[in-house]
Structure 1
Amino acid sequence: MHAERIRSLVAVTCACAVGGAWAAEAESILEQVTVTGTREQERLVETPASVGAVKAAEIAADKPAHPAQVMSQIPGAAVAVTNGEGHTTAIRQPFTTSPVYLFLEDGIPSRSPGFFNHNALYEINIPQSGGIEVNRGPSSALYGSEAIGGVVNVLTRVPPRKTELGGSVETGEHGWRRTLLSGGSGYENGGFRADLNLTRTDGWRDDTAYDRKSGTLRWDHFIGDSTSVKTVLGFSEIDQDTGANSPLIREDYRHDPTRNYLPIAFRKVSALRLSSSFEHETADALLSITPYVRDNSMDLLASFALRFDPSLAETQNQSYGLMAKWRRDFAPMRARLIAGIDLDVSPGSRRENRVDATTRGSGARQEFIAYTLGPRIYDYDVEYRGISPYLHGEISPTDRLRLTAGLRYDDMRYTFRNDFAAGVVRVGNSFYGQVGDTTVSFQRATPKVGATYALTPDTHLFASYNQGFRAPSESQLFRPSRATSRTSALALAQSAVELEAIRAEQFELGVRGVVAGVSYDLVAYDLTKRDDIVSQRDPETTRTITTNAGRTRHRGVELGLGAPLHRTVRFDVSMSYAWHDFEEWKTSQGDFSGREQASAPRFVSNTRLTWTPAGTVRAQLEWLRIGSYWLDDANTVKYGGHNLFNLRGNYALNPTWSLFGSIHNLTDKRYAESAQLSTGSTPVYSPGLPRTVIAGVEAKW
């Protein structure tokens, strides 16, 4: 792409992001492009994958306080709040903290595959992003480990062509305060943009304050007519009291929802990412080289572990990587070949101490009110190294038919150095197994094939087959759970380092198009996951070990629909209906084969009605529906699901100043962000945010 074309693209993108924010019209699915499906900008209708997007204009207008407030606009994607901007995700999987998703920023993983964090979206500056794309289902053939449930790619905003400056200040209930500042400028051969996000809230529940400082700096520079360099620096500093997801017994959930059983829990996060992408493009070829560095650290007193394994962990990891790609286009049959390699070296460490907690009460209502730091239970360094070449090809035997195929090979290795000798660390009646210095490696080849077919100019079919995999993360391999005896601790530690990769495969069929002005995207999928990581009893020794076992099946239908009902009114809906079943699942807790998975609602939907009576006014009513789901794998108790209504509005006073506001949970309904069975099979519920009003003012120059 020549520099002139690049500059035109920048101008169009900026105009859409600024001018289209309050327009009732939306881009037709026939016009949409995606960069996540193939790492190349391609028309969505020629991409044999389920890719959904939230545009920059929608994010700028909505000003989400949490990723859940925008992610649900994508069919089949749901996010639940844990604390602050913490989250669990459900994309073709139950709501889970397991490492089955890959989070990207401009196509670069925000974290190393070896050091997964299910809260990774809070490390990225979502409210000031240039859009979000979600590739649903396995994508390991292009992205490698963890890309089983889906890939979430957060895009940075393109620099402006001329000088811009803007910002917003907002305030709301529960001590909510946020300032968003943005500015940038262009010059003859490029431009730059800087964004800053300062957020603070006291939390609506006791001892649930949250503080965030994050920013993004992007610089685009063009060299001649065919070469460009894009440099992105992103950082986040997060300090939060994590008891916000403290589950309550039903009585407190209904009548005292601000109560927090886990006030001592906290999380302090630091994340830094720097990348520079060099691209040289000619009429039929592209060479792309992107070196990057990352630095992540976290101090965590985990709320979810206080009842069975309380500890304070300090984890760190740095990353040094390179993503290189060569693409060549051929005139016959619009053929395209992409060859690339991803390199990642990520040294990290874990220093973890046992916590002695002061409690009151018992059972599911037990409160953790203070703690003292106990002896060290884990002290090690571990380096992740990944080498991953891949190939991707496309061809069009006819004008209507486009075929794609890809293959990726991942060679992954952990080098582990333990400051403790092999054996067991004992703290009172708790035992922590330790393995000696070792190397653990994984190799996996993952293919994909797909096809798109233009049935008519306005109707496009696609079909695909994809494989995925997930190698165990650092904590699963080298941080086994607490045991109650020396022999059990040794068995757990040894079984953990013998774990193998989880495997997945998916068949998918979809149709996209426009009929009578209504855009639609309908997809059916069948995903099977094998060799998940479970806790089982060894049949010979009867000791509990960690092992690969089981098979789960995930089937569903996803629908995205958008229609202009009137010149000033637009209707959009995203919904999914899915089954998440244990086909073969035996653990130390029992045999759950044939049952549904817990925390797996069948029905999820987001419906929006947007009214724009004038270019200065925008109002949107949103209806969120989470269906019922089981609280346990034995399928004995259910949560009934919930319906939420949210209201958002924007009003431009003049070209410079505008007002905005939102009301979350308009009807003030009591609902649970998550629910499960606790001690003694007692149902417990993590209450969601009550009716909350936020308002602010924004200026643009």
Structure 2
Amino acid sequence: MTCTLGLRLSQLTAFTALFIVPLTLKAQQWDTIERIETTSSRIATSSEAKGYVVSSISDDTLSMLSFQHIQESLNYVAGATVQRGNGQEYLPALRSPVLTGAGACGGILAAEDGIPLRAAGFCNINELFEAHGEMAQHIDVIKGPASALYGSNAIHGVINVVTPDTTYDDGLLVFDYGSFGFTRAKFRQGKDFGENADGIKSGVGINASITRDTGYRNDESVDQEKVNVRHRYENQQLLVTSGLTYTHLDQDTAGYIEGFESYKDEVIARANPNPEAFRQATSFRLWSKLDMAWGKGHALSVTPYLRNQDMRFRMHFLPGTPLETNAQQGVGLLSQVNFVISPQFNIDTGFDAEFTTGDLLQYQQDATVGSPFLVETIPTGRHYDYSVDATLVAPYISVNWHSDAWTFALGGRYENMHYDYTNHMNAGREREDGTACGFGGCRYSRPPSGDNSFSNFSPKFSFSYDLMSSMRLYGGVSRGYRAPQATELYRLQRAQQVAELEAVTATNVELGLQGFAESGQYTLSFYSLRKDSVIYRDSDFFNVSDGKTWHRGIELGVSQRWADKWQFDFAGTFARHTYEHSQVANEVDIKGNDIDTAPKLQFNTRLSYDITHTIRTELEWQYVDNYFTDAENNNVYEGHDLLHARVSYKLSDTVTLYARINNLLDANYAERADYTTFTGPRYFPGRPRNVLLSASFVL
């Protein structure tokens, strides 16, 4: 194993040497940070973001891909891993193992147009299906707790789906048709009203998609609709951009298949052991972003927003398959002020706030099937029924200085999260009617009503140095955190009556090199992130926060064009993720073990060739290394290689046709591999070779 990993690391180093040298030969001024003001800064003129990188998946790349699941696009970001579940479900990783568990979604902040999709204490592991990635202008990724703009839930980074400004005179109509009953229609149209006699400019626009997918596996399907509406108002002093997003998902879900390498059996792979499973979800967000400038370059951005979500799904992965319904309604404010003190010195500061009401009900209608222990300890009726009022306040500041070659940013963010929890049924681990379960009590435990507060300060320091006009060195030290999620505090098990949890904290150190040229660019990053007070469920099934983990790795991203016809893109990572605390699992102390579902080497390579100025071809190779599927490191998934082929044909200035073959070699693989002591190996099987055709019309 050591020799193999050494060889793979040497291959990654070879990629570095091969592409960094040519890119430094012919240079231009190319700043990929400043243009992305919705992710790295709410104000485009701020220089606070120079010490870290925003990875961006462009509109052209997204059009060529036309992903059926957002996981396909995030493969293009070094250090990002998304394991697709069934339908629109997934489990994410960003400089981390694949995150699982009740509060795992708190490790990565998911946003649309800079606004978090969920409130900080009420995340959902699948929440990116509530963003309109199918019609995004670009998808941006920040890795690690780098920016003072983001607090709780951004320990491992931020994934931000940026929707287009549709308030100008442009339009688009796209039809997708694919294997296994996949169809989708996408529509975009805007109207620019120009400037009136009072010097006011305005415009409106819409961005919409409808998806239908009957699925590869038995009794699965996805019906999904998404729409963005946008309005723009501007005069000489003020720009107000307002947006509305609505999404709806109606999904019939297929669960895990079981048995060692069962994904290699076509009959088993298509089977659905959980035909009763489903997920129904709606989301609504309304926001208005006010931008204004005054004086000698001072700028202000203020964004109030309103958010509403509700979801129902069958918990097919639990004994008794209970039904969960959850909802949240809230309002919030994001702000930033950039004070320009001198040409070299400016200050970013702001205040973010949010108030959210969330509720959750877990209910089981039918008696549990299984062993006498399961039947007795998992009763019918309500398991949990609670509501939580959450208040978040977060001031932050960043002091920025830059010269011709150097840029420094020093600042921090203070955040206070307060939960007011109300239990709507009897406390403890009895049945809903108050009678006791056998074997010592019921599985599910409900704490009495109460309050919890968490306060954290996260300092940030970053720098960049222009080694030459074509190359810059960047780095920094930062602290991240996340407050415990409501489900970790109030959704207890066994004898635990109160969860005394601390906020998860992380210390990140990063050093990187970026190069820019007319023909392409590269980014090479080294990072080490240590997490403390990691929340997990111990051998007594108590939620505790005394875990420690260590995440370190090397990332390389390359985009290189040559001979005017060839394009090479590479995103790769070599990383190690380990447990750093003692915990006995099945008589094994896991300290020093690799965290399960954490492949060491992953990369995505794309090679494109322009046959003519109207015909473009692309071949993609996706590699996932083998990885352990249990914390004891006794079980392994072998990894996989996938090839995808694409071609686009521009018939005219307004019509483009696309054809794509996914899983070109028809490989048998698992989107996700897992292991439990109850089931043994289990998998979400990947789709066999499939085709997607598209026709795009510019209106």
Say whether the fold is shared (TM-score over 0.5). yes
Shift of 1:314: 0.8
Shift of 1:615: 3.3
Note if contact 2:29-2:469 (Cα within 8 Å) is conserved in structure 1.
no
Cα deviation code 1:203-234 (max 9, x no counterpart): 101111111011111222212x1210010101
Shift of 1:339: 1.1
Q: Which amino acid counterpart does residue 503 of structure 2 have in structure 1?
A: A
- What is aligned with 1:67? 70
Q: Does 1:108 align with 2:101?
A: no
CA separation in 1, counterparts of 2:692 and 2:306? 36
Cα deviation code 1:462-485 (max 9, x no counterpart): 11001001111111111113x3xx
CA separation in 2, counterparts of 1:325 and 1:518? 32
Cα deviation code 1:139-180 (max 9, x no counterpart): 473311010111011111023532x33211221111111111
- What is aligned with 1:392? 398
- What is aligned with 1:369? none
- The correspondence for 2:543, drawn from 534, 546, 551, is 546
Q: Which amino acid counterpart does residue 31 of structure 1 have in structure 2?
A: D
Q: Does 1:435 align with 2:437?
A: no
Shift of 1:678: 2.8
Note if contact 2:575-2:601 (Cα within 8 Å) is conserved in structure 1.
yes
Shift of 1:265: 1.5
Bigger mean CA offset, 585-594 vs 56-65: 585-594
Q: Does 1:126 align with 2:133?
A: yes
Q: Does 1:329 align with 2:340?
A: yes
RMSD: 2.3
Distance 1:191 1:350, change over 3 A: same
Shift of 1:611: 1.8
- What is aligned with 2:16? none
Note if contact 1:220-1:230 (Cα within 8 Å) is conserved in structure 2.
yes
Q: Which amino acid counterpart does residue 414 of structure 2 have in structure 1?
A: Y
Cα deviation code 1:431-463 (max 9, x no counterpart): 422222201110001110011000111110011
- The correspondence for 1:167, drawn from 173, 178, 186, is 173
Bigger mean CA offset, 79-88 vs 437-446: 79-88
- What is aligned with 1:311? 322
CA separation in 1, counterparts of 2:45 and 2:134? 25
**Which structure features the higher share of strand residues?**
1
Bigger mean CA offset, 664-673 vs 322-331: 322-331
SS at match of 2:488: helix
Note if contact 1:577-1:603 (Cα within 8 Å) is conserved in structure 2.
yes
- What is aligned with 2:420? 415
Shift of 1:29: 8.4
- The correspondence for 1:350, drawn from 360, 378, 383, is 360
Give unmatched runs, 5+ long, in structure 1.
Answer: 1-26, 363-371, 538-542
- What is aligned with 2:278? 266
- The correspondence for 1:39, drawn from 42, 51, 76, is 42
Cα deviation code 1:545-588 (max 9, x no counterpart): 22111211000000011111321110110100000011224156
Shift of 1:604: 1.1
Shift of 1:251: 4.0
CA separation in 2, counterparts of 1:261 and 1:679? 18
- What is aligned with 1:228? 239
- The correspondence for 2:512, drawn from 505, 510, 513, is 510
- The correspondence for 1:280, drawn from 282, 292, 310, is 292
Q: Does 1:292 align with 2:292?
A: no
- The correspondence for 2:680, drawn from 679, 682, 690, is 682
CA separation in 2, counterparts of 1:444 and 1:599? 29
Distance 1:42 1:101, change over 3 A: farther
CA separation in 1, counterparts of 2:150 and 2:367? 41
Distance 1:101 1:510, change over 3 A: same
Note if contact 2:174-2:185 (Cα within 8 Å) is conserved in structure 1.
yes
CA separation in 2, counterparts of 1:259 and 1:513? 48
- What is aligned with 1:338? 348
Note if contact 1:125-1:214 (Cα within 8 Å) is conserved in structure 2.
yes
After TM superposition, the score normalised by the length of structure 2 is 0.88
Cα deviation code 1:513-556 (max 9, x no counterpart): 1368442100000000111112235xxxxx54221112110000
Q: Which amino acid counterpart does residue 328 of structure 1 have in structure 2?
A: F
After TM superposition, the score normalised by the length of structure 1 is 0.88
Give unmatched runs, 5+ long, in structure 2.
Answer: 1-26, 195-200, 372-377
CA separation in 2, counterparts of 1:439 and 1:56? 45
Cα deviation code 1:591-643 (max 9, x no counterpart): 20011010000111111111223332222111111111001111112111111
SS at match of 1:59: helix
Shift of 1:685: 2.3
Note if contact 1:142-1:406 (Cα within 8 Å) is conserved in structure 2.
no
- What is aligned with 2:603? 605
Note if contact 1:135-1:152 (Cα within 8 Å) is conserved in structure 2.
yes
Shift of 1:317: 0.4
Query: 1:377-388 counterparts in 2 under 5 A?
Result: 377-388=383-394
Bigger mean CA offset, 553-562 vs 213-222: 213-222
- The correspondence for 1:493, drawn from 490, 497, 502, is 497
Distance 1:620 1:244, change over 3 A: farther
Distance 1:45 1:456, change over 3 A: farther
Q: Does 1:458 align with 2:478?
A: no
Note if contact 1:205-1:244 (Cα within 8 Å) is conserved in structure 2.
no
Identity in percent:
30
- What is aligned with 1:218? 230
CA separation in 2, counterparts of 1:29 and 1:310? 57
SS at match of 1:47: helix
Shift of 1:39: 3.5
Distance 1:90 1:431, change over 3 A: closer
Q: Which amino acid counterpart does residue 694 of structure 1 have in structure 2?
A: L
How many equivalent pairs are there?
A: 645
Cα deviation code 1:236-279 (max 9, x no counterpart): 10011222554554346434210122222111111111100111
CA separation in 2, counterparts of 1:245 and 1:121? 21
CA separation in 1, counterparts of 2:446 and 2:691? 50
- The correspondence for 2:207, drawn from 172, 185, 195, is 195
Shift of 1:44: 9.2
